[in-house]
Amino acid sequence: MRLRDISASEAATRLIKGDVNIDLGVAAFGIQSALPDVQHVLYQLYGDYVLLDNTSPADFRVAVQRPKSMRRWYKPQIHFLLDDFVPFLPLPRSQAYPVLEWGMNWCMASHMHKYLLLHGAVLEKDGKAVIFPAPPGSGKSTLTAYLAHSGWRLLSDEMTVIDLQSGLVHPFVRPICLKNNSIDLVKSWFPQVTISNIARDTNKGDVAHVKPPIASVDNIKQTAQVMAVVLPKYTPDVTLDIYSLSKADAFQALSDNAFNDSVLGADGFLALQRLVENTAAVEIHYNDLAEVLAFLNEGQFSA
């Protein structure tokens, strides 16, 4: 049963009780929140996901709640919980839904050490996956949204999940987090796509989340072979430039974006080494996403 198979009111009732357990492929999240806006956006963005029953335990039980301090009466805040643990300082009430998504990322990065975890998007076409590791401001999520709605399968926007034994990449399909001007751009390119309300003035700027394509959700357990690593860099005054990276530079770029290679030790080093040895790596500078799409569909990685 998918989340959308129950009514929004039933979903809200179950979220208040913490009785919504969503299968995200590599992990299951049990989610609790009594906040109506969180309930609404979660139902809106996760409607296509499969609900697990009570016999399937969640890997993480998370919640977004109002703190019980006096401050809630004059400057409301919210906090994120993993079980009863509060890992972050409270944030403004208006940021409740983004905090849930950021907290879920933190759960994975801090605890799911049976995989190599990289900060990077992953998309796949014809069975071959491309990793896009990049720091904030590179245009990664805008590029991810564009590709995900242009024939590529979304595996992840924020977190690349690499199997330590096989080297295959596992999907971790979640809503795509857009920031600032990219929100209106994606709305104009794909008016049929569902996008959450905008949370203003977060530490990342204005943010909104894009519902993943249902085809990506339906293939949430289908792994893919990594074909290439592409470091994107949006540069307003530059048409598409492509620079090949040496193996050493590719390793450094991936290591810089790894969440847990130091935790994994030798296993993490070997996973990174195998990833670099078996893939081509380039850095691209671009100001036109259509040119990037053409390069990925028809360029050196299309063979």
Going from N- to C-terminal start, the domains of the chain cover: 3-110, 115-298
What proportion of the chain, given as a percentage, has pLDDT over 90? 88
What proportion of the chain, given as a percentage, has pLDDT over 70? 97
Mean pLDDT of 251-258: 96
For residues 190-204, one letter each, b for 16 or more C-beta atoms within 10 angstroms of the residue's C-beta and e for the rest, the string is beebebbebbeebee
N- to C-terminal Cα separation, the chain: 39
The tokens of 104 are what? 């879920």
| pLDDT at residue 73 in the model | 66
> Would residue 209 be called left, alpha or beta, if left means φ above 0 and alpha means ψ between -120 and 50 degrees?
beta
pLDDT tens-place string over residues 104-138: 999 999 999 999 999 999 999 998 999 999 877 78
The answer, yes or no, to whether residue 194 has pLDDT greater than 80, is yes
The answer, yes or no, to whether residue 74 has pLDDT greater than 90, is no
pLDDT tens-place string over residues 195-254: 999 999 998 899 999 999 999 999 999 999 999 999 999 988 888 999 999 999 999 999
In 3D space, the residue among 165, 173, 296, 293 whose CA is nearest the CA of residue 227 turns out to be 296
The model's confidence at residue 53, banded by pLDDT at 50, 70 and 90, is: confident
Rounded CA separation 141/261 (Å): 23
242 contacts 282 by C-beta, under 8 angstroms? yes
Largest CA distance in the chain: 62
pLDDT tens-place string over residues 140-185: 999 999 999 999 999 999 999 999 999 999 999 999 999 999 999 9
The model's confidence at residue 30, banded by pLDDT at 50, 70 and 90, is: very high
In 3D space, the residue among 131, 143, 164 whose CA is nearest the CA of residue 279 turns out to be 131
DSSP state of 260: S
